[in-house]
Amino acid sequence: MDGFNELDKHPSHPLWKLVLEQFDDMLVKILLVCVVISFALAYFDGHEDGGNLDITAYVEPLVILTILILNAIVGVWQESNAERALEALKEMQSEHAKVLRNGVYVNDLPARELVPGDIVELRVGDRVPADMRVALLKTSTFRVEQSSLTGESAPVNKTHHKIQQEDVELQGKECVCFAGTTVVNGSCICIVISTGMDTEIGKIQAQIQEAAMQDEDTPLKKKLDQFGEWLTIVIGVICLVVWIINYKYFLSWEIINGFPRNVKFSFEKCTYYFKIAVALAVAAIPEGLPAVITTCLALGTRKMAQKNAIVRKLPSVETLGCTTVICSDKTGTLTTNQMAVMEMIAMGDKAGSFRDYYVDGTTYDPSDGKVVGLGKKLDTNLTTIAEIASICNDSGIAAVSTEAGVAFSGHQFRAIGMPTEAALKVDLFL
């Protein structure tokens, strides 16, 4: 046994490490040095003036320090949200399964206790708890919705026949049910072949974790690092030149017989001109740049979060803004992967006549829309339509934990079963 049938927990970064990562930037390091030097200059200037230290002397270093702290807070908050978002894959796993143990089916066996070789019964509305091989079909058709793996919205017909090709994509493995997918039609008996991180969804999580460990610098971060390196060199050279130019004010000597004599050195004046050079360096550093960049990126991240798009790294917002072409799957990405009834047609009062009823609403929420033109009482034709839509239907409207249907989760209803059948059943409640 290789452990429980569950995905590995993503190793979270400790808080102190997240904080240190926010200061791993050339420009931020320069500003930290400026903060220390500014505090030192303000302190020594206060003592030279008689020891009267005023809080106004520390305004500049305090402002820079506040900007850096706010920058770190925003970065840590964003990283924490992204870490929690990576745990969303675990929610795709089923909690219980109907498993054959000791010749008897156990209806509520914890899915984490499944092992390869277990015999499991799958029914409409069940979420597949592990990768399984279909052994026996109990209905004429058995369909599974596996858009979470393949991106294809159309349910896939599963069969117990062996695949002839060895190397085939996930969509073509018609005899295998994958963990995290949902049964939308029929029932069958399966044999568990893979559990935990050995499943296809486990491989996806492993790829996500590997990608998170190999983050590459964005174009913005590369340019900022390059700017910080050049700024450090230029400022360092200028300060050194300014300090050397004024050497005659703190260092003097006489040339006697070709050798310097009577060398005079003033430590006080040397320190004074060094402070001038340092002050020039502090003034040359754009301390407002990190604040502006962080604020702009944070605003972009907030707008994307309102659209249910989680940004793991703040600089990724700028990279996305530079993107000119995006190749994307349509279903579930550009569309909601939901079906909705738009119009009902029933027989009229006279032979050969028809009546149209238009339906409002585009979600599985029964309170989202209404049937336009519907009277208070249903006639025979509309009653027959409602009966057919209800009886010839494997979907339902109930909680996921109880039975198949449309489940409420995160302020949105989602279909358990065929999307078309769920749309018809929702239409009955309008």
Cα–Cα nearest to 157, from 165, 147, 145: 145
> Of the candidates 338, 331, 332, 333, which has an alpha carbon nearest to the alpha carbon of residue 406?
338
Cα Dmax for the chain: 130
Catalytic residue among 215, 217, 329, 356: 329
Neighbouring CB atoms inside 10 A of 161's CB total 9
Strand 96-101 relative to strand 182-185, pairing: unpaired
> Is there a catalytic annotation at residue 368?
no
Distance set, CA 52 to CA 43, 47, 349 (Å):
10, 7, 98
Helix runs in 151-259, H state only: 200-213, 219-245
Give CA separation, 197 vs 36, 74, 127, 155, 276, in Å: 49, 33, 17, 24, 61
Q: Concatenated DSSP letters for 336-401?
A: -------EEEEE-SSTT-EEEEEE---SS-TTS--EET--SS--HHHHHHHHHHHHS-S--SS-TT
DSSP 259-280: EEEEEEE-HHHHHHHHHHHHHH
Do residues 98 and 120 touch, judged by C-beta distance below 8 A? yes
Region of 3 on the Ramachandran plot (φ > 0 left; ψ -120 to 50 alpha; else beta) = left
The identity of residue 180, as a single letter, is G
* Whether 277 contacts 242, CB under 8 Å: yes
Question: At residue 338, what is the residue type?
Answer: Q
Kindly compute the dihedral angle of the four CA atoms of residues 366, 370, 375, 376, in this order, to the nearest 10 degrees. 40
User: Are 89 and 204 in contact, with CB atoms under 8 Å apart?
Assistant: yes
> How many other CB atoms sit within 10 Å of the CB of residue 22?
20
Task: Cite the active site residues.
Answer: 329
